[in-house]
Amino acid sequence: MRISGTDLAHEIKQDLATRVQKLNAQGIRCGLGTILVGNDPGSVKYVEGKHKDCAEVGIESIRIDLPEDASENGIIAAIEELNHREDCTGFIVQLPLPEYVNTLKVIEHIDPDKDADGMHPMNLGKLVLHTQKLPETPLPCTPRGVIELLEHAGIDFNGKDVCVLGRGITIGRTIGLMLSLKGKNATVTMCHSKTRDIEDKIRQADIVIAAMGVAHFVKPEMIKNGAITVDVGVSRVFVAEEGRWRIQGDVDPSCYSKVSAYTPNPGGVGPMTRAMLLKNVVEMAERSA
């Protein structure tokens, strides 16, 4: 089964558009802000996609673009501006930031109630503390998108062995918290570049969530028959025979004939991550109402 994130994201945005209209009728406006430092092509395209999504749903866009040599204090000043703007319901600082910037320090300056990415230490802390159900705070977009995508496809996490490849904050370190909640009841193994016998751990999993950023790392011999693969990783690979760069995921497409379900890349988790960002902003506005 091919699990399309594009299709579900479209449905979610239709629902959000209706909810935004109801909020507007109450005199409550939804606004998403973005802070982009520099002109990295991937980041620029991703931010443009976010604002395009806003236009589809009826959320107002607030965009702050800073030069690639912007100082750390300059970035923090932009954050403080959005923290205090009444027309900004929530906002994100597009990552990665330049190497000379202390990313954690920057994120800590975001108002937790406006943390559209769900990455502020206070919101992550609440996620750690809640073991029964999800807290009513902004949730990390990518793991939330993965869970909603699989559940919409009828996949039950209860009792499943899940292997997560990657320990990044975007999904690797957070999805385990969400999947181990009561009500999800998955058993999660997080693997990384120093994990011993990683192929054995992947082969034991019912669900493999690959978020390493290593093109086609997961091969058919690594997974068991009937497993489910979720491809989160993104790599730009030059394909010599085509003479062009292409986006490739962590899961080799040759795995598809062996699995019971898979998310494609692109067209799988990416659209869901963007949809969850919008959902966070709408939920913030609804909580304020």
Exactly one of 117, 206, 250, 252 is catalytic; name it. Answer: 117
Question: Is-catalytic flag, 117?
Answer: yes
244 is in an annotated binding site: no
Exactly one of 13, 53, 94, 248 is catalytic; name it. Answer: 94
Question: Is-catalytic flag, 248?
Answer: no
What DSSP line would sit under 187-200, residue for residue? EEEEE-TT-TTHHH
282 is in an annotated binding site: no
Exactly one of 50, 126, 160, 201 is catalytic; name it. Answer: 50
Contact 90, 138 (CB under 8 A): yes
CA distance 158 to 160: 6
Question: Is-catalytic flag, 50?
Answer: yes
CA distance 26 to 226: 49
234 is in an annotated binding site: yes
CB neighbours of 37 closer than 8 A, spacing ≥ 6? 66, 67, 68, 70, 75, 93, 94, 97, 98, 101
CA distance 70 to 84: 21
For the record, the structure tokens of 27 come out as: 């005199």
CB neighbours of 47 closer than 8 A, spacing ≥ 6? 34, 36, 63, 94
93 is in an annotated binding site: no
CA distance 15 to 2: 23
Residues of each annotated binding site: 166-168, 234
Residues of each annotated binding site for NADP(+): 166-168, 234
- Residues noted as catalytic: 50, 94, 117
